[in-house]
Amino acid sequence: MKVSCPGVSPEISDGAARAAELIRSAGTVIALTGAGASTESGIPDFRGRNGLWSRFDPLEYGTIGAFRRDPVKVWKMFAELLAVTDAEPNAGHHALAAMEAMGCLYGIITQNIDGLHQKAGSRSVVEFHGSLATFSCGRCRTALLLAEVRTRPLPPLCSCGAVLKPDVVFFDEAIPTDALHQTEKLIATADVLIVAGTSCQVAPASTIPLRVRRRGGRIIEVNLAPALGPLADITLAGGFGATMSCLLARLREK
């Protein structure tokens, strides 16, 4: 008889065993993550009650038009956003990185901009909404790394004098072409999709589970408050860290 995973209910423990079976029998497994993956690292959901967008009006701070009109003002929001780059990955990030290293996970599509998957050691990560790792100048196209930007007073200026912008996707901007192409490739090969820490309400990332399902893929949902309903083949209604750790433990069992 299998021992129960610590910190999760017997239901999740059993569900993780079934999920591990599904993953073992699958050819290609990918994951889609969102804000719920980072809350245990101390980053509140930007759309939640204490989130960034409850304090900064998205129309005034979250559009490329707002940035072009008044970049200094929008940097009040970015200055707060930069704090997420100090966060550390949690057990869930580490479990996904370990799954990749074991050959059980082909790639991650994340809606997060915090870089925590990469910090945990994941190598194949598509950042659907951009990231805070790099900054660009809209005037002369100079690109800078976060470490360089952090040595400058805020708002950071390019050598040409323009205000730099982190390479995150504003509400009114298109998903970066590279990220879209890589996502298409992942969807086209996925036999199993693990949806973790995202209620899949923001398009176009929200369409990914349905698209995987339509081409015959199976879905494993890991959400404290499950949102996919019958779209998910296996639903693990638990926190990201404990549930992903349990899934990893089940994958390591013979």
Question: Which of these segments, 11-19, 114-122, 131-139, 171-179, binds Zn ion (CB under 5 A)?
Answer: 131-139
Q: Which of 93, 94, 117, 129 is catalytic?
A: 129
Strands (E), 103-213: 107-110, 125-127, 130-136, 143-145, 165-168, 192-196
- Map residues 81-120 to x or -, x wherever contact with Zn ion holds by CB under 5 A: ----------------------------------------
**Binding test (CB under 5 A) with Zn ion, winner from 109, 137, 200, 222:** 137
43 torsion bin: left (phi>0), alpha (psi -120 to 50), beta (else): beta
Site for Zn ion in 140-179 (CB under 5 A): 140, 142, 158, 160, 162
Q: Give the residue with the Cβ less far from Zn ion, 163 or 244.
A: 163
- Minimum CB separation of residue 166 from Zn ion in Å reads 14
- Minimum CB separation of residue 140 from Zn ion in Å reads 3
What angle do the packed helices 240-252 and 10-25 form, to 10 degrees?
50
Q: How many CB atoms are located within 10 Å of the residue 2 CB?
A: 11
The set of residues, in sequence order, having a beta carbon less than 8 Å from that of 174 and lying 6+ positions away, is: none
Is there a catalytic annotation at residue 129? yes
- Minimum CB separation of residue 147 from Zn ion in Å reads 18
Q: Give the residue with the Cβ less far from Zn ion, 50 or 159.
A: 159
Q: Give the residue with the Cβ less far from Zn ion, 157 or 202.
A: 157
234 torsion bin: left (phi>0), alpha (psi -120 to 50), beta (else): beta
Give one DSSP letter per residue of 152-177, joined into a string. SPSSPB-TTSPBPEEEEPPTTSPPPH
- Minimum CB separation of residue 141 from Zn ion in Å reads 7
How far is CA 188 from its chain centroid? 19
Q: Give the residue with the Cβ less far from Zn ion, 79 or 160.
A: 160
- Minimum CB separation of residue 74 from Zn ion in Å reads 17
Structure tokens at 219: 């879905």
The set of residues, in sequence order, having a beta carbon less than 8 Å from that of 249 and lying 6+ positions away, is: 5, 16
Q: Kindly state whether residue 28 participates in binding Zn ion, applying the rule CB under 5 A.
A: no
Q: Give the residue with the Cβ less far from Zn ion, 52 or 163.
A: 163
Catalytic residues, which ones?
129
Question: Footprint of Zn ion on this chain (CB under 5 A)?
Answer: 137, 139-140, 142, 158, 160, 162
